[in-house]
Amino acid sequence: QLCFVCGQRGATIMCCEENCSRWFHLPCAKEGGCATLYFPDYRSYCPEHRPEQDMQTTPEPGTKCLICMEPVEDRTTYRSIVCPACKRAWFHRDCIQVGAIPSAQDHSRC
């Protein structure tokens, strides 16, 4: 299969969205804006079909990721997410992918 990001053969991951035919390599996923969810079902999505967090807030300037302690952007982006429980803890999506503890309700706990 051809990777839609780099155009090379050998792509082994397909977008989980029904009727989507985009394939990609795991190393190309981040560069291509894909979402690879490393919990319960290990699903991967192309940028068009990746799940988005329904955020009603933006981080305050200077807010830091509670995992790596580096600043998160002070605007809503795909790269930053807020804890769905407390609505105050912010994380980089890349950090939370590794540091999340899946709960029975399929969302992470901070």
| pLDDT tens column, 39-94 | 778 889 999 998 877 767 888 889 999 999 999 988 777 788 888 888 889 999 88
> In the numeric block, which tokens belong to residue 63?
């807010």
Looking at residue 98, what is its pLDDT? 66
pLDDT beyond 60 at 96: yes
- Give the domain extent around 36: 1-50
The count of domains in the chain is 2
Residues 10 and 20 in one domain: yes
Whole-angstrom CA distances from 108 to 28, 33, 84, 96, 105 are: 25, 21, 8, 8, 8
Segment 5-9 long-range contacts (CB within 8 Å, at least 24 positions apart): 5/29, 5/31, 5/32, 5/34
Residues 73 and 85 in one domain: yes
Looking at residue 54, what is its pLDDT? 74
Looking at residue 21, what is its pLDDT? 96
Is residue 63 within 8 Å of 69, Cβ to Cβ? Answer: no
Residues 30 and 76 in one domain: no
Residues 35 and 65 in one domain: no
Residues 44 and 57 in one domain: no
Residues 91 and 45 in one domain: no
Residues 87 and 67 in one domain: yes
> pTM above 0.85?
no
pLDDT beyond 90 at 2: yes
